[in-house]
């Protein structure tokens, strides 16, 4: 099974090519350029350098959220377009589950965190068992204070991964809750994690692939608040 995976849910963007769980190639970029400019060119360069045609890909995988509303839409739209044009199966995976694969070597409790603003993070907890992350909680937006109390109750240092690791680490340090931080090369989201998370998922069609946002966008929240004010 040849899988082409995409990750564009946060500042870092990456594409990865895996065959039966083995990483063949990965291309990552963390710049100010928009993912709409970089994602497909990265995939094209990677496939060319690997001497693999996109028609030979068996499965397209993408992190379908949570994350940046724009970034998730770009990744999902890219994979939907490729899957539809090539009549190939595709699958969306949780951004947080994909991130949890970065804790494989660390073992123990893995805590992926993405900055969700407003003193919240997108988070789920996992434990490394039998060589893979096992989910302990659903994906959720959670206040840093609530996450800290949850980790305190578990009583073991969590391994923080994700673009919200520095934010969460600062809060946990202030609360005197022990934790471990991923090194820089493992901190950012990656398409390799997407490919690994996709391995046990049931593929679907381009029409079935949808983004998962967990909460309303700022524009939608402002519209909802305005409508509530007008209804009073």
Does some domain include residue 74?
Answer: yes
Question: What is the predicted pLDDT for the residue at 177?
Answer: 97
pLDDT band for 226, please (50, 70, 90 cuts): low
24-51 pLDDT per residue, tens: 999 999 886 689 999 999 999 999 999 9
| Domain harbouring 136, CATH code | 3.30.420.40
Statement: residue 222 has pLDDT above 50:
no
Does some domain include residue 160?
Answer: yes
Does residue 13 sit in the same domain as residue 89? Answer: yes
- Token code pair at residue 6: 């995409």
Contact 108/101 with Cβ under 8 angstroms?
no
Does residue 90 sit in the same domain as residue 203? Answer: yes
Question: What is the predicted pLDDT for the residue at 107?
Answer: 96
Return the residue matching tokens 């204070």: 145
Say how far apart CA 120 and CA 112 lie, in whole Å.
Answer: 13
Say how far apart CA 146 and CA 120 lie, in whole Å.
Answer: 9
Does residue 86 sit in the same domain as residue 119? Answer: no
Does residue 55 sit in the same domain as residue 91? Answer: yes
Say how far apart CA 163 and CA 49 lie, in whole Å.
Answer: 29
Does some domain include residue 198?
Answer: yes
Query: What's the distance, CA 137 to chain centroid?
Result: 16
Contact 93/124 with Cβ under 8 angstroms?
no
Does residue 159 sit in the same domain as residue 102? Answer: yes
Q: Residues 131-159: what's their mean pLDDT?
A: 97
Statement: residue 218 has pLDDT above 70:
no
- How many structural domains compose the chain? 2
Question: What is the predicted pLDDT for the residue at 231?
Answer: 59
Beta bridge partners of 45: none
The answer to whether the predicted template modeling score (pTM) of the entire model surpasses 0.85 is yes
Say how far apart CA 47 and CA 25 lie, in whole Å.
Answer: 9
Residue 150: how many CB atoms within 10 A of its CB? 17
Does some domain include residue 76?
Answer: yes
The count of C-alpha atoms lying within 13 angstroms of the C-alpha of 216, restricted to the half-sphere facing its C-beta, is: 8
168-204 pLDDT per residue, tens: 999 999 999 999 999 988 899 999 999 999 999 999 9
Which residues span the domain enclosing 166? 97-187
Does some domain include residue 75?
Answer: yes
Does residue 88 sit in the same domain as residue 132? Answer: no
């Amino acid at each position: 099974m040849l899988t082409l995976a995409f990750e564009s849910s946060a500042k870092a963007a990456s594409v990865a090519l895996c065959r039966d769980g083995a990483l063949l190639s990965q291309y990552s970029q963390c710049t100010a350029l928009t993912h709409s400019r970089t994602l497909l060119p990265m995939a094209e360069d990677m496939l060319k350098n690997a001497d693999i045609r996109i028609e030979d890909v068996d499965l397209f995988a993408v992190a379908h959220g949570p994350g940046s509303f724009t970034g998730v839409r770009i990744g999902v739209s890219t994979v939907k377009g490729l899957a539809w044009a090539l009549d190939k199966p595709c699958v969306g995976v949780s951004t947080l589950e994909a991130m949890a694969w970065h804790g494989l070597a660390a073992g123990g409790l893995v805590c992926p965190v993405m900055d969700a603003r407003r003193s919240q993070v997108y988070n789920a907890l996992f434990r490394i068992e039998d060589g893979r992350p096992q989910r302990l909680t659903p994906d959720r937006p959670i206040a840093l204070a609530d996450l800290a109390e949850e980790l305190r109750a578990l009583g073991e240092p969590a391994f923080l991964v994700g673009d919200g690791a520095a934010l969460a680490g600062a809060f946990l340090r202030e609360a005197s809750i022990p934790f471990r931080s991923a090194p820089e090369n493992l901190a950012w989201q990656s398409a390799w994690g997407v490919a690994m998370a996709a391995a046990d998922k049931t593929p679907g069609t381009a029409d079935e692939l949808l983004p998962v946002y967990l909460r309303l966008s700022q524009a939608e929240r402002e519209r909802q608040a305005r409508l509530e004010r007008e209804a009073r």
